[in-house]
Structure 1
């Protein structure tokens, strides 16, 4: 029965023509079930409130009597109709634009309902809608649903069709949630909740209906994840690494710095996962500069010591080259062979590395998406690490994982997000979070300045240079663009060389050859270049501890998380570091981003504000991350419900009764329709 409504074509509803059906299909509505579950995104409030409760500029609905004869004024093509109306014993001016036909209907003493914007100072309503009770059909006192529409579809037509569908087929709406969950959370029945979402009698009723459907939506989502986990962890499927705890302790003790308590805790979690015969699937998130890379290095060390190979995939060649240098130096005393595999290698060098990987002479390979080419074959891949994993699509990550027999997977991101959202976006994963700063690191001081203050910025660069420190100078474009009035890297490089003749100014951007980029970074890392003008090619992972100043030109062109990533390129030593944002934002959103950056350097707070400004789909890049699109739930508001739904789904799928009892037949049918057990593992 759960599927019956979705088997009834929308064309079977009376009054749905071929044209209307096509326009409904474009909205994702092809069946009666789709229409019934096509929920409003907001409500128009036509309930009458006392004028004293209404703030200036708010929308209001009032009931009154026509108190004066109307006057019609014309200004070119615009017609302005004015009339005084008695509301609550007060004379209020009602103004209509281009509604001259109402003049003859505004008879003295006639009752009228007005909806529009309230101007408290003038005691005036700019009328959007009006009606006369003596004609019937007044909306006063109601909440009217507002839907997304397109083409020739109107709100009135869609409301009517949804009402007809509910009246004709409402009795067929099935209950999906088991009775114990309805009782536990005090949720209204599903049929009632759907009806009330479309036809709320009052605000509290609509809120209760929404609460029910939010829980259902999140519970069904979590049920898929937990059912997958339960079904796929019945049998050992991964590599049980033979980890020698004493060797790991000795490796950590030999590091040139002391790990934070958070790093130690996460290494313990990873060690536990790697020792078990189940494939590890863990997300490691932490702010920029929090020390995720060294945690992954310990995991790579463990997999090699267990006789396996490790792979580290990163989004850019610059970052791959940097990791290859640092990890080679770290692992050299232990005889661990590290190779670099990127798209810019010569064919001969590439063949040598591929052969070494296949016969097992190379222990760890570091690279970009070049790692997932068909001809890359491992002898025994035991651990896959992806850095800045949101930069890779789900399919790219899956290809690398399939190059071994269920290797352990560790994904890392410096885009901190709330744990519940991480669980939602990244599926069936355990989540570890580093919130602690490495010892000795100071907060980065951030300033927002206008373009007219460039001389002061140049003075700041000179002062840091006198202290022996270096500066990153970032701009959005490589070359001049006619479409965007933003500073470009090539012009900026020339201008800074002229403005700072006493300093060495370098240039780095994505169109340079790999050799040119490498040379620019080597010069800067060695301190021979004082200022490096760059595009966002340096956004992720580039580590130059002596760089203490980050200047971002046209900063309002960047997203919050991207700005925070850029800021994280400095502050990587004991020296005080700074970030200067140069921007004249025209939009309120741009101003809010600049303010957020100066308010805090906490990546989790930055991520929270970025979610508020952009929403989760844009935040992660929906196509890349697979972030789900929910019809009712809001991931920023419904975290607590998501956590509860996850716990409920986990408890339910852990019971053998869930898989056999008729009580849960509808939920098992839902999982079957989702083809949960036929495809790839959730990523």
Structure 2
């Protein structure tokens, strides 16, 4: 049960004074919640301000430096609206103080609100950036305008928060202040020596400090309040991952006795020999599975490094030992593709393979689940349909999870919750830096595949500005005429008012107009069967050019595709660009990747595209991406099951993550059920961070 102490924080956001249904739904959108009911008071506490308006700088009009943000108290002299019919000209209001005159400048003014807000002869306070032009100062759209008579309670420093359309800063600020009023005196869950060493304020004071920064330093990630809350977030994550580990360890694994009979047949049938790092990974996995503790291993390998073969050899070992193995993929396309690849190789060993996805229905589904239950099906490949209640296994020894970052820790737990305790191998093609592995997976054992399989050709990568898109279309025309296949990746599905990015549907239309009708289209809004049909047509060569959004990023295998065009490459994460690039260069042909960008690029943008041009090492690229962009974006979207931290930052607080990991391990070793005084406080921390799942483990354990 959640401690009653936290009840006020878990009340719906609509329980705050001044938050009606409309504001509640705007706040929910801002907080990234599906609907207003999901948003709680506590979520507002974790919304960190990103800059500070400091109104203490009040030099007087004539002494205001160019470009500085200043606060001016002055009297309104006159209004100068634009001439009739010239609404593109600015509206100016002139004010003066003892030192000089200032023009307040507004664009696209509707109605007479300025006359009401700034009546002539009224003393007012304005705050904003001053620009000097021809010896005259002006302030465009001040951040703040208030009559001096009403400014009594105006704060001198004010934090600025992220906003969403329709939500005013004033309303948000008020809601956050009401949320802070509900903050109870939280117990101290940090180790006392550590808190002293790091100058951590107590938890309640840290929230207050986060929302009431005194100066610019208070907004910095290294401010004591932010470091404290960042540490708490890491600690909650590390304790819950450690509890999952502890639970997985507590349920003994079944030792897998590999005979090498089936894997030997598979190896004989291979047209190439495995790389050294593939062999090393297989050795690690077989060693882990031979023990009576359950394996929990992460297999990281760049696109095309041959993870599927490693997984197959591990699954063959489970079958040799008289058991079953499953391979869970995040999408239908991927599951069926794994099935196609693995069936070919496993046929040599006579292993019986089934595929089960959400689209398997009726009699066919019943027949498959029957074969799984009797053990006739030895390797089962599918989506999370594999773990629905209607599916039971005869003897599941190994679960392989592909593209783990698309599955949260929760799905990993559901497996264990079914009373099944297979060994687990988690595969990802996203090379994840060590800090992120720690944050997302805790102390998992990691195997890395660092070599490209024999015969892989390097991919030539070039950057081209959008203005030259016509040349690219011409190049494609001749490449397709020579029988080559190409992808064209777009960031959006359909044209939207807000964005000037070219959408997949619109780009498809322009390419059809230029190159003829045989062009495929795949995007996330299409149904499963539609996507599969478009992919199939591309694979078989019915279409030679496929326009797609990033749905092709994960694992779709078309060995003879040799050209990849990525539009608006500056909008993608490096790791994601690297993944997309890995869709080509899988066959015998030399391949190329064209990064189309819209200029002018920022320094950072240019640095990122250069790294891709210069390197094909996914691990190096991922480390650089983390350095340049931060962890939130690294694995694609914030929602993809990775820890999208709210206050903690892997770049700014990496030292704290390491401390939190050791602290969590030490705490659980001394107090595995969290019953001590500090243990009880840590339970409160877990609830505060919505890690209830982990606490259920304590009870179930």
TM-score by length of 2: 0.73
Shift of 1:403: 6.8
Of the three residues 240, 244, 249, the one matched with 1:224 is 240
**Corresponding position of 1:642:** 657
Of the three residues 86, 95, 107, the one matched with 2:104 is 95
Aligned length: 648
**Corresponding position of 1:363:** 378
Matches within 5 A, 1:558-569: 563-569=577-583
**Corresponding position of 1:109:** none
**Corresponding position of 1:189:** 202
Q: Secondary structure at the match of 2:213?
A: coil
Q: Distance in 2 between matches of 1:482 and 1:183?
A: 52
Q: Secondary structure at the match of 1:75?
A: coil
Structure exhibiting the larger radius of gyration computed from Cα positions = 1
Matches within 5 A, 1:192-203: 192-203=205-216
Matches within 5 A, 1:105-124: 105=122, 115-122=127-134, 124=137
Q: Distance in 2 between matches of 1:32 and 1:391?
A: 28
Q: Distance in 2 between matches of 1:155 and 1:180?
A: 37
Query: CA 1:162 to 1:376, structure 2 compared with 1: closer, same or farther past 3 Å?
Result: closer
**Corresponding position of 2:94:** 82
Q: Is the 8 A contact 1:552 1:582 kept in 2?
A: yes
| TM-superposition CA deviations, 1:27-76 (whole Å, max 9, x none) | 5899998887776454222243989999864x512578x7x994442336
Q: Is the 8 A contact 1:508 1:520 kept in 2?
A: no
Query: CA 1:456 to 1:641, structure 2 compared with 1: closer, same or farther past 3 Å?
Result: same
**Corresponding position of 1:378:** 393
Shift of 1:355: 4.2
Query: CA 1:435 to 1:50, structure 2 compared with 1: closer, same or farther past 3 Å?
Result: farther
| TM-superposition CA deviations, 1:573-630 (whole Å, max 9, x none) | 46431023567689999988988866765545369659977973895556652x4565
Shift of 1:570: 0.9
Q: Is the 8 A contact 1:450 1:582 kept in 2?
A: yes
Q: Secondary structure at the match of 2:462?
A: strand
Q: Distance in 2 between matches of 1:507 and 1:132?
A: 61
Q: Does 1:179 align with 2:192?
A: yes
Q: Distance in 1 between matches of 2:327 and 2:275?
A: 23
Q: Secondary structure at the match of 1:334?
A: coil
Shift of 1:8: 5.8
Q: Distance in 2 between matches of 1:566 and 1:356?
A: 37
Of the three residues 293, 303, 306, the one matched with 1:288 is 303
Shift of 1:542: 3.3
Query: CA 1:224 to 1:535, structure 2 compared with 1: closer, same or farther past 3 Å?
Result: closer
Q: Secondary structure at the match of 2:57?
A: coil
Q: Distance in 2 between matches of 1:637 and 1:225?
A: 22
Matches within 5 A, 1:53-92: 57=67, 59-61=68-70, 70-75=77-82, 80-83=92-95
Q: Secondary structure at the match of 1:473?
A: strand
**Corresponding position of 1:45:** 54
Q: Secondary structure at the match of 1:335?
A: coil
Shift of 1:177: 1.8
**Corresponding position of 2:426:** 411
Q: Distance in 2 between matches of 1:364 and 1:609?
A: 36
Q: Is the 8 A contact 2:94 2:104 kept in 1?
A: yes
Q: Distance in 1 between matches of 2:363 and 2:653?
A: 54
Q: Does 1:533 align with 2:516?
A: no
**Corresponding position of 1:209:** 225
Q: Does 1:338 align with 2:353?
A: yes
**Corresponding position of 1:104:** 121
Q: Distance in 2 between matches of 1:663 and 1:480?
A: 52
Query: CA 1:5 to 1:445, structure 2 compared with 1: closer, same or farther past 3 Å?
Result: same
**Corresponding position of 2:33:** none
Q: Which runs of 5+ in 1 are unaligned?
A: 107-111, 500-504
Q: Is the 8 A contact 1:560 1:597 kept in 2?
A: yes
Q: Which runs of 5+ in 2 are unaligned?
A: 29-37, 107-113
Q: Distance in 1 between matches of 2:626 and 2:230?
A: 23
Q: Secondary structure at the match of 1:330?
A: helix
Q: Does 1:547 align with 2:565?
A: no
| TM-superposition CA deviations, 1:81-110 (whole Å, max 9, x none) | 2245577xxx6745365367464256xxxx
Q: Is the 8 A contact 1:450 1:584 kept in 2?
A: yes
Q: Does 1:240 align with 2:252?
A: no
Q: Does 1:676 align with 2:694?
A: yes
Which has the higher mean CA deviation after the structures are superposed, 604-613 or 284-293? 604-613
Q: Secondary structure at the match of 2:200?
A: coil
Q: Is the 8 A contact 1:310 1:363 kept in 2?
A: yes
Of the three residues 429, 452, 474, the one matched with 1:458 is 474
Query: CA 1:95 to 1:279, structure 2 compared with 1: closer, same or farther past 3 Å?
Result: same
Query: CA 1:250 to 1:597, structure 2 compared with 1: closer, same or farther past 3 Å?
Result: same
**Corresponding position of 1:472:** 486
Matches within 5 A, 1:239-638: 239-243=254-258, 255-341=270-356, 353-369=368-384, 371-372=386-387, 376-391=391-406, 405-425=420-440, 429-439=444-454, 440-448=456-464, 450=466, 453-454=469-470, 456-459=472-475, 462=478, 470-474=484-488, 486-487=504-505, 498=516, 507=520, 520=537, 523-524=540-541, 531-533=544-546, 535=548, 538-552=552-566, 563-573=577-587, 575-581=589-595, 603=618, 605=621, 609=625, 616=632, 625=641, 627-628=642-643, 630-635=645-650, 637-638=652-653
Query: CA 1:195 to 1:348, structure 2 compared with 1: closer, same or farther past 3 Å?
Result: closer
Q: Distance in 2 between matches of 1:543 and 1:177?
A: 48
Which has the higher mean CA deviation after the structures are superposed, 565-574 or 95-104? 95-104
Q: Is the 8 A contact 2:265 2:348 kept in 1?
A: no
Matches within 5 A, 1:646-657: 646-656=661-671
Shift of 1:458: 3.5
Question: RMSD of aligned C-alpha atoms?
Answer: 5.3
Matches within 5 A, 1:8-47: 19=18, 40-47=49-56
Q: Is the 8 A contact 1:287 1:434 kept in 2?
A: yes
Q: Distance in 2 between matches of 1:245 and 1:619?
A: 36
Which has the higher mean CA deviation after the structures are superposed, 639-648 or 263-272? 263-272
Query: CA 1:49 to 1:300, structure 2 compared with 1: closer, same or farther past 3 Å?
Result: farther
| TM-superposition CA deviations, 1:106-141 (whole Å, max 9, x none) | 6xxxxx97521121455524144468999984868x
Shift of 1:383: 1.4
Q: Is the 8 A contact 2:248 2:416 kept in 1?
A: no
Q: Secondary structure at the match of 1:633?
A: coil
Q: Is the 8 A contact 1:596 1:606 kept in 2?
A: no
Q: Secondary structure at the match of 2:299?
A: strand
